A and B are shown apart, each in its own frame.
Chain A
């Protein structure tokens, strides 16, 4: 039984990591808490639902297109609005992303209504038995795709020119600018990457969970908690934090009943913030 709880936690953790990685990137590099992030995940979910409903595409097939669209939306927001307020006081950036969230969420509600939409595949894969544990294969697929995308972000940050530029800005914005990094453009790229990952996460989540605008708060909360757990701005931290939160959620639900899982994870969040604000696995400064 405990093994099953841990396995469920691990599968959940892969999805959490993918939701949080982009959020962490924007927070770390732009120093902006993007309150819109949860809604971007939901937007990705709806795009995947539309691709499935109208074109008959499997969410994994539609994933690159969904990521591209949501990423372009993010790039427009960053280029048009957010680039003006990077470096403003905390409240200004919080308020502006809150306003954008209200706007996007209202548009989603008008377009799709508050009903839950589900992607019902013609053939479900069923579950596999693994050492006496039930492994739901669609969940396993979702979690592994989510983890693959998160790992791809890590490689991009480590290996590509753009990634080096993003990390350079995070270390020292002025020095990066002096070295020829175009700061404003890199901000746009970073936000677009984050949005694309959020959209892709939404498409993957559509495989497992129903889609509704009401979900965006809980996705945003997950992104927050994972960042605090894992430490800010590092992809490895997001993966570690995601898995940790997945396990905590799963175990707390098992031990105290699932209705109390939120209380446990929020209390844990406050405690961690108080004791180790740099995250369980993070270092102060850059990572």
Chain B
């Protein structure tokens, strides 16, 4: 198996499958496709800060929810959807720059907890700021006047494009100066700093990119389900699943989050359909097995000894 050719073939197959789904007439398949594309975007976005820089961020849920609320609120003011999605990326990206200045000074467990606390604060704010967000009652978005299948196709296309952008950004980052700097930070931040690397700036950039992708995913998701409430869009599982996906595929690689998201999504759907009442328990067993037996991810396991 020659690595480069297989990789190229895999990307071609993935893109072909994505295009084939676009002309499908099956609304359920399109909805599932949109969800998978969303998770690919989230996992790829998390991977920039969590995989490449090695900062275990649990803030994905925070940025997803913030993007969902930001997009929904401007959409209710009459801003067209694509612009609302852009806004939904911009707000969390900016917040990540500000918050990152504080929390990115922490390392390891402390960073993980601080990033989780960001999500909790935002969730509580969304719940209690009833005047702006509708509080625990949630927020209704404008409903589209088009057929079910057309809507499913529209949101599938949007999430698939976001996934492509997310993977594109993460490969641009990986093969640029920024990516190199992030890998240095992951291996030894102190040493990187002594060589003149401004670790704080590259980490903030990675955090902001990751936040913007998660925010856009949240905004598109909000538009597609027409209703959001704090418990749903700030769900801690939204922070944990992208991490599991990226780890399953191989954190820190460009293809890893994509493969991991696809495999995890498939597993989850199967488990969900087969064991409804013990669904989270079975998921728990899978997660434990993953951490025990494949801590480096599927890709590194397949290519073990072949790529650095």
Interface, chain A (partner B; CB < 8 A): 27, 31, 33, 81, 84-85, 88-96, 98-107, 110, 217, 221, 224, 228, 259-260, 262-263, 266-267, 269-270, 273-274, 277
Contacts and interface: CB of A to CB of B under 8 A. Distances in A.
A96 B287 CA distance: 7
A216 B128 CA distance: 22
Contacts of A96: 287-288, 291-292
Nearest to B281: A106
Interface stretch (B85-93, B115-123, B194-202, B213-221): B115-123
B131 to A, nearest CB: 14
B280 A102 contact: yes
Interface size class for chain B?
35 or more
Given A81-B292, A94-B56, A107-B281, 16 more contacts: A33-B109, A33-B112, A33-B113, A85-B292, A91-B50, A91-B251, A94-B112, A99-B290, A102-B283, A103-B285, A110-B278, A217-B236, A262-B124, A267-B121, A273-B103, A274-B114
A95 B124 contact: no
A220 B85 CA distance: 34
Nearest to B127: A259
B284 A103 contact: yes
15 contacts: A91-B247, A95-B243, A95-B290, A96-B287, A98-B287, A99-B291, A103-B280, A103-B284, A103-B285, A228-B113, A266-B117, A266-B121, A269-B117, A270-B118, A273-B103
Nearest to A99: B287
B243 A106 contact: no
B3 interface: no
Interface of B is mostly: helix
B177 interface: no
Contacts of B240: 98
Contacts of B106: 273-274, 277
Interface string B37-80: 00000000000001000001000000000000000000000000
Nearest to A106: B281
Contacts of B118: 270
Contacts of B124: 260, 262-263, 266
B275 to A, nearest CB: 10
Nearest to B277: A110
Nearest to B125: A263
A184 B284 CA distance: 25
B127 to A, nearest CB: 8
B1 to A, nearest CB: 27
A260 B128 contact: yes
A89 B50 CA distance: 12
A221 B121 CA distance: 12
B110 interface: yes
Given A84-B292, A96-B291, A224-B113, A91 B56 contact: yes
A110 B278 CA distance: 8
Most buried by A among B50, B120, B236, B279: B120
A221 B288 contact: no
A206 B114 CA distance: 30
Interface string B275-306: 00111110111111011100100000000000
Nearest to A27: B109
A31 B109 CA distance: 9
A91 B243 contact: yes
A260 B130 CA distance: 12
In order of increasing CB-CB distance, the 6 nearest A-B pairs are: A99-B287, A102-B284, A106-B281, A103-B284, A99-B288, A96-B291
Contacts of B284: 98-104, 106
